[in-house]
Amino acid sequence: MPATLAAPTRARTGLLTSLAAVLLIALNLRLGISSAAALLDALRADLGFSPLVAALLPTLPSLCFAAAGAGTGTLARRLGAERTVLAAVVALTAGLAVRAVPATWALLAGTVLGMSGLALCNVLLPTLVRTHFPERVGLLTGLYTTTLALGATLASAVAVPVAGAVGSPSLGLAVWALPALAATVVWAAWAGIRTPGAAPAAAPTERISPWAMARTRLGALVTAYFGLQALNAYAITGWLPSLLSGHGMSEGAAGVVLAVAQAVGIPVSFAVLALAKGPAGLRGAFAAVSAAMLVGFAGLLVAPMALPLVWAVLVGLGLCSFPLVLAVIARSGSGPAQTTALSTLSQSLGYLLAALGPLAVGLLHSATGGWTAPMALLLGTAAAQLAVGIALTRGRP
């Protein structure tokens, strides 16, 4: 093949492979979390762990995202963003596989290892999208958040029957190491076809402290909004099946309701991101998704079994706040270094705040024996999310 034709062909191949690699990683970002939420009651019955462990398990992802995410920028500068992500998906695969051991220590250790790998991916995906697809940030953000939602929906819907098919909830969790292994293979293949000797395109060459971003209005508001939406999302996805089961719904049906909540974002994310291109649209999109979450939580507080699918759809609309805030992060800053700094700040501190949600819900449920106090708490955090979203979008160019 002539050199003039070979170069564009290699470029197209690299672009398509990088797209496939990014989307396959996005698919895995919630598989291990949603499957554990759907199987929480079965795991507790099988392993016999305490209410404290039951409250801790849905909290661990957020804690790992906060702790591991804080060091992502440093690791990416040393290894390059692409190699950091490769190490991350290897850790994810190993962590999910460890959870096959039917013991509480293995469940917790595997969750910590796997979720630490996810933390690195969470922080670096906006930087990778901005670097490799600079003209299509909104489109790619929509694609990978939609793929993420597909993974979450799939895991919520089929985790219980898959666990039944393989014979135990522990083995049912470990099944989700297989798509993580596929992501590892594809990401490694993409790294292998990159031009030999080329510098990692997404590795920031300058250091911008995330904590300097915290002193800016943008950094503070993005971090607050990211933390509140993550708190609400992880609290409700971690405990919704248990809430519904506690009101008499079967575990399988409760998993399906959670799947509905997560599936709503699949068609809606693109529409929300398209609406958010202009300042007025951005304000409207932030207000709409936050208000939907607020109403959905109110329904689960007042009459959870009256219209569970309606509340699930409203909660699902509220979960679209995640692609919105990711799009703001990806479009902010003068280059990859600032994007990584803002992403590191918002995700490390934001997920630390988010960790309080599932833990508080679990402890309140254990203390009161019901779901009124936990849902009242979440109603308050949803109202705070709406207020911060309005402040974040006020005056944005």
Residues 378 and 364 sit within 8 Å (Cβ to Cβ): no
Listed range (2-11, 70-79, 138-147, 305-314) with the worst mean pLDDT:
2-11
Question: What pLDDT score was predicted for residue 15?
Answer: 67
Residues 375 and 75 sit within 8 Å (Cβ to Cβ): no
Question: What pLDDT score was predicted for residue 1?
Answer: 47
> Can you spell out the DSSP letters for 8-44?
HHHHHHHHHHHHHHHHHHHHHTTHHHHHHHHTHHHHH
Average pLDDT (192-201) is 48
Percentage, residues of the chain above pLDDT 90 = 22
Q: What angle do CA 287, 224, 266 make, to 5 degrees?
A: 50
Question: What pLDDT score was predicted for residue 298?
Answer: 95
Report the distance separating Cα 208 and Cα 74, nearest Å.
10
- Residue 152: name the closest of 56, 286, 1, 266 by CA: 266
Tokens 């039917």 label which residue? 102
Distance from the Cα of residue 185 to its chain's centroid: 21
Asked if residue 59 has pLDDT above 70, the reply is yes
- Using pLDDT thresholds of 50, 70 and 90, give the confidence band for residue 13: low
Report the distance separating Cα 264 and Cα 206, nearest Å.
39
Listed range (111-125, 157-171, 182-196, 277-291) with the worst mean pLDDT:
182-196
Distance from the Cα of residue 396 to its chain's centroid: 25
Please tell me which residue, 5 or 186, carries the higher pLDDT value: 186
Average pLDDT (214-221) is 83
Residues 270 and 69 sit within 8 Å (Cβ to Cβ): no
- Using pLDDT thresholds of 50, 70 and 90, give the confidence band for residue 195: very low
Q: Two tokens at 7?
A: 């170069």
Listed range (7-21, 82-96, 352-366) with the worst mean pLDDT:
7-21
SS3 370: coil
Query: Who contacts 211 (Cβ-Cβ below 8 Å, separation ≥6)?
Result: 345
Question: What pLDDT score was predicted for residue 295?
Answer: 95
The pTM for the full model equals 0.71
Residues 117 and 149 sit within 8 Å (Cβ to Cβ): no
Report the distance separating Cα 357 and Cα 30, nearest Å.
17
Query: Who contacts 100 (Cβ-Cβ below 8 Å, separation ≥6)?
Result: 106, 170, 171, 173, 174, 177
Question: What pLDDT score was predicted for residue 201?
Answer: 47
pLDDT tens string 334-393: 666 777 778 778 877 888 888 888 888 888 998 898 999 999 999 999 999 999 988 888
Average pLDDT of the chain, as a whole number: 81
Residues 292 and 267 sit within 8 Å (Cβ to Cβ): no
Asked if residue 291 has pLDDT above 90, the reply is yes
CA Rg value for the chain = 20
- Using pLDDT thresholds of 50, 70 and 90, give the confidence band for residue 5: very low
